[in-house]
Amino acid sequence: MYRIAKTLNHNSFIGVEEENNREYLVMGKGIAFGKKTGQRVQPGDDARIYSLTEMTERGNARTIVQGVSPLSLELASAVLDEAEKEFGKIDRSIVFPMADHLDFAVRRIQNGEQISNPLTDDIRVMFYKEYKVASCIRELLKERLQIEIDEHEIGYLALHVHSAIVEENVSQAMEVARAVRESISLVEHITGHTIDVMSLSYNRMMNHIKYMVARVSTGETLKLDMNELVDVYNGGRPIKVVANLPYYITTPIIMGLFESGVPIDNITVMVQKEVADRMQVGPGSKDYGALSLAVQYYAEPYIVANVPPNCFIPRPNVGSAVIRLTRHQTPPVEVKDRELMFKLIRASFNQRRKTLLNGLNNSPELSFGKEQIAAAIEQLGVPAAVRGEALTLEQFARLSDLLGESR
């Protein structure tokens, strides 16, 4: 049973579930018709009920509901109904970011504004079924608002449908599509031939790149000898890496390149702004962590340019930055056991609120006794209650040597 907190229109209301006292969006044909705030309603089996505590890629669900029209919520829910018919069980919480996107799309159309999505053709092929489902919005908008929606808007909507059926948010799906397009464009440029998106060649390459991105994002790697590749194609000379990668695989690729021992002069990539900040920050900051120390051990980080959200379509909720990592000729610190040092670093930041002593003592990666750790911290000359975030790279290297000697 739900107590109405606010009616949105005849077909939806915000209600408080009486058993758990939480707010929900309740939708159904005529479910709020003639109803008033405070009334109790028992939704039927055909009603759609969404928790307003959901956190989405576009923000808090309740905030989204307050900022979009009830019709946009209805349209998004209708698209998800079609998705359920096609795919079976889906994540219906995507209704909130989808409604947010639809609300902006409707306003653009009504204002005579058009957007261009260079990835529309790729999305239509890569996410064929999702695009087919998203296309149902054409008739819905004609019927409800007498407006026409173009293929570019449907392409973006298809990514939301995709997000509802797999554990991948819209920006991740967009990055996969972009990686496919950039790779194919590079092949076209090198060969001088255009690859038809409807061809078998395109489909083969598209699937190869899709699964490549999936492997990297889950930490799976191919057995490729990068050093051999550099020897063959660059005579063993240091290379410069420049890339625009999906954000969620950038860090493992960067660390993989550094740790592999490949001769690298520098790496220039675009990353999420907060990740760039973490890479170059020093001790004592909330952004300082294992990534900061790992990057700074191998390279000198420098933010070349900040890239605000309004540079992208669709506009993300985060800023970006281009960062250059110039590899050190020699590591900035000397350490006897690099692997042990990084184990200490990871253990120190896995439980940031704990003292360095307790963090290291609780780590399953380390086998030192508490007394050994306490003695090493004392020899290091820092307070017994110090936390890992206060130590410099030099101090972690020294601590590693002290613990290594105590074995």
Cα 155 from Cα 177, distance rounded (Å): 11
pLDDT score of 236 = 86
Calculate the CA dihedral of residues 61, 63, 64, 69 and round it to 10 degrees.
130
In sequence order, what are the residues at sequence separation of 6 or more whose Cβ sits closer than 8 angstroms to the Cβ of residue 78? 136, 140
Cα–Cα–Cα angle for 360, 365, 368, nearest 5°? Answer: 55
Distances, alpha carbon 39 to alpha carbons 18, 31, 50, 237, in Å: 12, 12, 19, 75
Which superfamily does CATH assign the domain made up of 338-405 to?
rRNA adenine dimethylase, C-terminal domain (1.10.8.100)
**12 φ, ψ (degrees, to nearest 5):** -160, 150
User: Which among 243, 262, 401 has a CA at the least distance from the CA of 337?
Assistant: 401
Give me the sheet containing 264-272, strands edge to edge.
239-243, 264-272, 320-327, 299-307
Q: What is the third-level CATH fold of 226-327? A: Rossmann fold (3.40.50)
State the DSSP string of 284-325.
TSTT-SHHHHHHHHHEEEEEEEEE-GGGSSSPPSS-EEEEEE
State the DSSP string of 243-255.
E---HHHHHHHHH
Which CATH code for domain 1-53?
A: 2.30.24.10
* 174, two tokens: 């967009």
Beta pairing, strands 55-56 & 59-60 = antiparallel
pLDDT score of 285 = 84
Which CATH code for domain 61-221?
A: 1.10.1790.10
DSSP SS3 for 210: helix
DSSP SS3 for 157: helix
pLDDT score of 356 = 92
Cα 83 from Cα 339, distance rounded (Å): 48
Length of the chain equals 407
- CA-CA-CA-CA torsion sign (363, 364, 370, 372): negative
Q: pTM score, two decimals?
A: 0.53
Cα 214 from Cα 137, distance rounded (Å): 29
pLDDT score of 87 = 92
pLDDT 10s per residue in the chain (407 long)? 899 999 999 999 999 998 888 999 999 999 999 999 999 999 998 899 999 988 777 778 888 998 999 999 999 999 999 999 999 989 888 899 999 999 999 999 999 888 888 888 888 888 889 999 999 999 999 999 999 999 999 999 999 999 898 877 788 788 888 888 887 887 788 778 888 888 877 887 787 777 776 666 655 555 667 788 788 878 889 999 998 877 777 888 888 888 888 899 999 999 999 999 999 999 988 889 999 999 999 999 999 999 998 887 777 788 999 999 999 999 999 999 999 999 999 999 887 778 999 889 888 888 899 999 999 999 999 998 999 899 999 999 999 999 998 87
- Asked if 24 contacts 17 with a C-beta cutoff of 8 angstroms, the reply is yes
Cα 229 from Cα 157, distance rounded (Å): 40
Query: Which amino acid, one-letter code, is at 307?
Result: V
pLDDT score of 160 = 92
Cα 67 from Cα 142, distance rounded (Å): 23
Q: Where are the domains of the chain?
A: 1-53, 61-221, 226-327, 338-405
- Asked if 380 contacts 392 with a C-beta cutoff of 8 angstroms, the reply is no
